[in-house]
Amino acid sequence: MRRPALGLTVLLAAGVIVACVQAASYPAPPAAKGQGPYLVVTRPMFLRAVAPLAGYRRAEGLGVVVSAEPVDQAIRSCGVRPAMILLVGDDQGTESSREPWFLPARRAGFYRWRSTQRQDIPSDALWGDLDGDGLPDVPVGRLPVRTAAQAAALVAKIISYESRPPSLEDLTIPIWAGSGQWGSAADLLAGALLTGGLERLAPRWVQPWIIFGSAGSPFCHWPLAQARAFQDQFRRGGALIFLIGHGTRRHFYSMDFGGRMIGYDAAAASATLAEGTPAGPMVILACYCGDFAGSDDCLAEALLKAPGGPVAVIAAATESHPLPNYFSAQAVAAAWGQGHRRLGEFWLAAQRDAYRAQNPLIEAMLAEVEGTLEARIDTDRLRRDQMLLYALLGDPATRLKLPQPLHGQLRYADGRWHWRVERPADADALHVSFRPAGQKLPPPSPLTDQATAEQTHHAANAVYAFQPVTVLNKDQPWEGTIDAAGTLRLVAVGASTIYAAGLPLAQPSAP
């Protein structure tokens, strides 16, 4: 299997991951008057299958238009700019298909930095370019289906996921970062950047759960069981799920072990996720894993179509470049603070901000790290391609399960911290947990036996875990004290909403 060159992108994985989990949990602003419709473009064979999703979105208050016209004509027929576009049908990589399920992506010219790269890529994002400037203006997603049964199954999956109330497990962020294959020193640096970045930048209520594909990391786990462990974890919950590393159309690569390539395969994912409840949205930052325009399912498609897999998957349809990947990572953090509640709005806002971002130092470091076919690489074209090469497989209107803010007071007196929070009207219980400061990661496992490797992995993730303190009901005062340094997490849970706050407890310095 060819491992697409990722270069410094892997060393910057920590920045990518941290940016993606830096969530400011604010509800979305109300829809503006006159906002365009949620446009579903499909083929006649899928009209009955998409009807429940259209009804579900109408019940949410969205204006909904369902069309079986060609995509460009359906957009024009709206009369106003749609708020978002969902395509229901598949693309097999040729414009000449006459299959009843065929719904083509647009093709975008691809700016190459290696001669072996393709010259154009399938791009659903281009359907969202409504002003002709080559950049998407509205989010576009796709259900890549070829049968009515597949369409009906995905519609049911989306509604099932969104109907489930958020839970404590949704405050966990499962992360599987693969080795960059730059050697042990680079992997150690990447691991340190990952954990250090999470400590500095992640929301304090987040509980990361990490697998890192390096024998020198305590987060390695037993390599032959990494896929199972990652899958078991994200099926428990998670507002977003991340895979970061090398990839091909049907495989995510983690590391080499015992003469084998360890990773996550489309066929295996389809089989092991054939049952169960839907998981949260997944972002795959690896080349080719979102290349949906083929005769068989890519990894992102396989995960999406599996009943127990992610409700949506964002992944690259071709190779992505380290420079725009870096800017995308930073922009994702800002997108959380903009109040975007739906996956498509969140992702598009991040990509547009990434396109405008500038950092001369980073550009000097990354622009030509993977080579160039010109005297000097054109960074603007790299940025433009970044907005077009990621496919959102799933519904762009998918609601993210993020907590709303929990308000309260914190003061230090008598050698301890006194906290008190206001109970939201719809919250029934407050879950109080604590993560002590100053915990150290265990040394890495020698990877000589599975039990030891799994124990080491568990101990490493326990450093970032919140230990339960108490649960208060709505009739009790929501207040208490903590007498140790660390992070206090307060999570209020209601029937359909969750609220969270993470409070740093550090002893004030003497005057």
**pTM: predicted TM-score of the whole model, two decimal places:** 0.89
Task: Report the b/e string of 378-400 with b at 16+ CB within 10 A.
Answer: ebebbbbbbbbbbbbbbbbbbbb
Q: Is 466 exposed, middle or buried (0-12, 13-18, 19+ CB in 10 A)?
A: buried
pLDDT surpasses 90 at 322: no
Radius of gyration of the chain (CA): 23
User: What local confidence, expressed as pLDDT, does residue 6 receive?
Assistant: 35
- The CA distance from 500 to 429, in Å, is 12
In the chain, the percentage of residues whose pLDDT exceeds 70 is 86
Give the domain ranges of the chain. Answer: 1-401, 404-505
User: What local confidence, expressed as pLDDT, does residue 294 receive?
Assistant: 87
Model confidence at 509, in pLDDT bands (50, 70, 90)? low
Phi, psi torsion values for 329, nearest 5 degrees = -60, -45
Name residues whose C-beta falls within 8 Å of residue 47's C-beta, 6 or more positions apart in sequence: 66, 68
- The CA distance from 96 to 117, in Å, is 23
Mean pLDDT (the chain, rounded): 87
Range in 60-74, 108-122, 425-439 with the lowest mean pLDDT:
108-122
Q: Which two tokens stand for residue 492?
A: 């209020």
User: In this structure, how many other beta carbons lie within 10 angstroms of the beta carbon of residue 29?
Assistant: 10
Contact 174, 207 (CB under 8 A): no
**Residue closest to 500 by CA, chosen among 20, 9, 26:** 26
Range in 24-28, 153-157, 403-407, 421-425 with the lowest mean pLDDT:
24-28
User: What local confidence, expressed as pLDDT, does residue 187 receive?
Assistant: 66
User: What local confidence, expressed as pLDDT, does residue 369 receive?
Assistant: 82
Q: Is 14 exposed, middle or buried (0-12, 13-18, 19+ CB in 10 A)?
A: buried
Element (H, E) at 211: strand 207-212
Contact 184, 217 (CB under 8 A): no
User: What local confidence, expressed as pLDDT, does residue 139 receive?
Assistant: 97
User: What local confidence, expressed as pLDDT, does residue 313 receive?
Assistant: 98
**Residue closest to 313 by CA, chosen among 392, 246, 247, 395:** 392
Q: Which two tokens stand for residue 359?
A: 């950092």
User: What local confidence, expressed as pLDDT, does residue 295 receive?
Assistant: 87
In eight-state DSSP terms, residue 359 is: -
pLDDT one-digit tens code per residue, 392-401: 999 999 999 9
User: What local confidence, expressed as pLDDT, does residue 411 receive?
Assistant: 92
Q: What is the CATH number of domain 1-401?
A: 3.40.50.1460
Model confidence at 4, in pLDDT bands (50, 70, 90)? very low
Question: What is the CATH topology of the domain spanning 404-505?
Answer: Immunoglobulin-like (2.60.40)
Model confidence at 377, in pLDDT bands (50, 70, 90)? very high
The SS3 call for residue 85 is strand
pLDDT surpasses 70 at 62: yes
pLDDT one-digit tens code per residue, 272-308: 999 999 999 999 988 999 999 988 999 999 999 999 9
Contact 218, 443 (CB under 8 A): yes
- The CA distance from 458 to 452, in Å, is 10
Contact 292, 142 (CB under 8 A): yes
Residue position matching structure tokens 């599987």: 176
pLDDT one-digit tens code per residue, 204-261: 888 999 999 999 999 999 999 999 999 999 999 998 898 988 899 999 999 999 999 9
